[in-house]
Structure 1
């Protein structure tokens, strides 16, 4: 049974600007060390950051809470399985809210085109 769905679209240029401005404080607030290492190692780093941010926003929309009640960005980590498929690794309050909602499965889809990054998250129980 679907608990919630969330979709978010982000302009990649926004993250290109953040990178050009060396906005380290923002990146440290939004992303885990592993996410920053992954994205920074990519030729199109801004695209990878934008995709991960869109996935985090999509998760919050699917959960129906937004960023409140102690939730923080770094508790929603985008990782890839052995085949490169994106998955969410939850911790702290994010994991607690996920379990309280009775969720047992989380599906993530990421895509990009024409300067935009889009993510969709489906939560099931």
Structure 2
């Protein structure tokens, strides 16, 4: 069953301007070290990579049903990539607590994430699914 859906559209040029203006203060407040390393390794797409991750965090907060309020922190939601390149979301802190609270008993939460960009836009779409646990 679907527990939540969220989407967000971020302007890459706006994120580039924030990076230029606030630099590490912005990076460290919003992005985990792993997210920063990924973005900084993409020399031709640094701002686009940050913008996609920004959009993913916004979309995730919407799928959690809270938006960025109620104690949720930007760094409670982290985007990483599987070896295949597929983006994934990892939740910690209050975001993980909210996910656990909205997951029905006997189910496990599965987060689905897709990211895309086409300058000047970056988009993320998040679906939170509850799957019945299988008896072992």
Q: Would you call these one fold, judging by a TM-score over 0.5? A: yes
CA distance in 2, matches of 1:114, 1:16: 12
2:6 alignment counterpart: 6
What is the CA-CA distance between 1:18 and the residue it aligns to?
Answer: 2.1
CA distance in 2, matches of 1:105, 1:20: 35
Q: What are the superposed Cα offsets for residues 6-60 of structure 1, whole Å, 9 maximum, x if unpaired?
A: 0100000011112322522111110011111110111210000000000000001
What is the CA-CA distance between 1:95 and the residue it aligns to?
Answer: 0.7
Q: What are the superposed Cα offsets for residues 47-102 of structure 1, whole Å, 9 maximum, x if unpaired?
A: 00000000000001111111222210001000001101000011111111111110
1:109 alignment counterpart: 114
* Residues 7 and 126 in structure 2, CA contact (< 8 A), matched pair in contact too: yes
User: Gaps (5+ residues) in structure 2?
Assistant: 131-136
Confirm or deny that 1:118 pairs with 2:119.
no
Which deviates more, 36-45 or 46-55? 36-45
1:91 alignment counterpart: 92
Where 1:109 maps in the other structure, the secondary structure is: strand
Q: Give me the TM-score of the superposition, normalised by structure 2.
A: 0.87
- CA RMSD for the aligned pairs? 1.2
1:25 alignment counterpart: 25
Confirm or deny that 1:71 pairs with 2:72.
yes
CA distance in 2, matches of 1:38, 1:114: 19
Equivalences, count: 125
CA distance in 2, matches of 1:36, 1:90: 17
Q: Where in structure 2 are the equivalents of 1:15-54 lying within 5 Å?
A: 15-43=15-43, 44-54=45-55
Higher relative contact order (CA 8 A, sep 6+): 1
